[in-house]
């Protein structure tokens, strides 16, 4: 990835002055970027704050970041935008000068945890994407919500819920402490799908009939499926393997504390 050059990409940056809101100060920033080619990715990574992705009626990508804080310096948290040779864009919120962010995650050349503990700045992202753009969004402390997109979605967080909807799909979604709810239209291809958390319910919804081998797991919860299934192997209250239709791609839903639900949308 290479850094975005605002002039060559005709990006527009708007920074609003800080305002007081419920004892937290707030600062807004916004970028309008050139259109990502159909099939290209918009990826967003965040450490502290929610991410929301919506469909856009325009042919450009719009990114809005809202910083809020009670203590610490919001200028210590920078928003980096970079572009790959295929036109995909990566947006990262970075809390310290030694950190780096790539499509695969964060890395740091030193221990910056102390500085991060003293900085309560959170960043909330809102991203508007055109049709055909693939979406990858990940946070650590914050919920993730994706709706109205028409291509592949990969969404995850550690502390927070994940709700991801794609008209086309496929969707991959995960959390650790929070529920996971994924909704897809009719699916082509044979790619395996995975939905999981530790503490929370996992729900996957599909439109129409599907052919798949399903693997459902929970320790403290129940299973539910809207399809008649053919069970293979012994009946285990914590682990259900079954076949939908002719079988095929593997669809996995797993949690420890919560229900596992496979739903059919009309």
pLDDT in tens, 216-232: 999 999 999 888 877 66
pLDDT of residue 5: 41
Q: Are residues 117 and 203 in the same domain?
A: no
Q: Are residues 128 and 227 in the same domain?
A: no
Give me the number of domains the chain comprises.
Answer: 2
The string of pLDDT tens digits covering residues 33-47 is 878 888 899 999 999
Of 99, 116, 142, which residue is a domain's last? 142
Give 263's contacts (C-beta < 8 A, 6+ positions apart): 203, 204, 205, 206, 224, 226
Q: Is 100 inside any structural domain?
A: yes
Q: Is 181 inside any structural domain?
A: no
Question: What is the pTM (predicted TM-score) of this model?
Answer: 0.88
Q: Is 102 inside any structural domain?
A: yes
pLDDT of residue 217: 95
Q: Are residues 21 and 116 in the same domain?
A: yes
Q: Are residues 22 and 90 in the same domain?
A: yes
- Which one is predicted more confidently, 235 or 89? 89
- Which one is predicted more confidently, 162 or 36? 162
pLDDT of residue 116: 55
The string of pLDDT tens digits covering residues 65-78 is 999 999 888 999 99
Of 125, 142, 159, which residue is a domain's last? 142
Q: Are residues 137 and 7 in the same domain?
A: yes
pLDDT of residue 7: 29
Exposed, middle or buried, 221 (CB in 10 Å: 0-12/13-18/19+)? Answer: buried
Question: What range defines the domain where residue 104 resides?
Answer: 1-142
pLDDT of residue 9: 41
Least confident of 62-71, 185-194, 196-205: 185-194
Q: Is 255 inside any structural domain?
A: yes
Share of the chain above pLDDT 90, in %: 56
Of 142, 175, 207, which residue is a domain's last? 142
Q: Are residues 134 and 8 in the same domain?
A: yes
pLDDT of residue 38: 83
Q: Are residues 72 and 6 in the same domain?
A: yes
Average pLDDT, the chain: 86
Q: Are residues 133 and 249 in the same domain?
A: no
Q: Are residues 200 and 138 in the same domain?
A: no
Q: Is 150 inside any structural domain?
A: no
Q: Are residues 117 and 206 in the same domain?
A: no
- Check whether 189 has a pLDDT greater than 60: yes
Q: Is 162 inside any structural domain?
A: no
């Amino acid at each position: 990835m290479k850094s975005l050059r605002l002039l060559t990409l005709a990006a527009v940056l708007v920074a609003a002055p800080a305002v007081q809101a419920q004892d937290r100060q707030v600062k807004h920033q916004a970028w309008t970027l050139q259109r990502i080619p159909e099939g290209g990715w918009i990826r967003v990574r965040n450490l502290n704050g929610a991410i929301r992705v919506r469909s856009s009626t325009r042919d450009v990508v719009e990114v809005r970041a809202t910083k809020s804080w009670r203590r610490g310096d919001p200028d210590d948290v920078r928003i980096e935008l970079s572009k790959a040779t295929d036109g995909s864009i990566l947006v990262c919120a970075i809390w310290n000068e030694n950190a780096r962010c790539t499509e695969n995650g964060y890395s740091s050349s030193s221990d910056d945890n102390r500085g991060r503990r003293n900085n309560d700045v959170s960043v909330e992202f809102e991203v508007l994407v055109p049709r055909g753009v693939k979406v990858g969004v990940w946070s650590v402390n914050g919920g993730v919500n994706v709706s109205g997109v028409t291509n592949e979605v990969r969404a995850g967080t550690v502390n927070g819920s994940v709700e991801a909807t794609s008209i086309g799909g496929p969707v991959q979604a995960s959390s650790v402490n929070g529920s996971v709810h994924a909704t897809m239209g009719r699916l082509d291809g044979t790619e395996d799908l995975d939905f999981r958390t530790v503490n929370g319910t996992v729900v996957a919804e599909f439109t129409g009939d599907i052919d798949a081998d399903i693997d459902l797991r929970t320790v403290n919860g129940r299973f539910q499926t809207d399809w008649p299934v053919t069970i293979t192997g012994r009946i285990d209250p914590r682990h259900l393997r079954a076949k939908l239709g002719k079988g095929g791609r593997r669809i996995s839903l797993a949690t420890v504390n919560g229900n596992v639900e496979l739903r059919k949308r009309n």
